[in-house]
Chain A
Amino acid sequence: MKKDRKKNLYQLAAWTWSWVATLAIASFGPKYIWDGHTFLTIFAISVNLANGILMIVANRNFFNNLDELQRKIHLESLALTLGLAVVVGLTYSLLDVTNVIVVDAEISNLVVFIGITYLICVTVNTRRYT
């Protein structure tokens, strides 16, 4: 059981890192590696998408193999993160649309926000049950 959880965690980490790597290649490749070649750009984006789907499958396997308390901790964290991502994301977008903020609302900022929020929620929830 414990071995399975560790294995799933390593698999999730591997797929996450490879997804980040393929995302970086798909983002910077057209400009710095293959000089805007359309076929290579589409290929890199497709590989990134396929990698992302496999990362989601690995995440689901990891989640399904957690024990009941860990699952509760992650579920509560996911619920809070999803709610905050929608509310804060739309507020951020609204600030941009109404020109209250001078910079453009970037999706990458929202991704960073989701990551940090989830990390904080998991840490706080883990402490609650310790």
Chain B
Amino acid sequence: MKNKLKVLRAEHSYTQEDLADIIGVSRQTINAIEKEKFDPSLPTAFRISQLFKLTIEDIFYFEEN
């Protein structure tokens, strides 16, 4: 799954640590999501979308390899 998390985080001037604290996950998790090595759970995806006031589909999208 692809995502725009890194771009959104940069636009809002959050560090990975800031975002991790707000969402309630570890910094490593934010890093893994940004690098698309790990797909977040639905609650985490919702928390991210609510924080950036976007829909989940605006941030995460599926792309066939």
Contact = CB atoms under 8 A, between A and B. Distances in A.
Interface string B23-63: 01110110110000110110010000000000000000000
Question: Interface residues of A: mostly helix, strand, loop or mixed?
Answer: helix
Q: Place the interface of chain B in its size category.
A: 10 to 19
A70 B26 CA distance: 8
A129 B21 contact: no
A72 B41 CA distance: 11
A33 B24 CA distance: 49
Nearest to B31: A130
Given A2-B21, A72-B38, A130 B32 contact: yes
Interface string A34-50: 00000000000000000
Interface of B: 21, 24-26, 28-29, 31-32, 37-38, 40-41, 44
Interface of A: 1-2, 67-70, 72, 126, 128-130
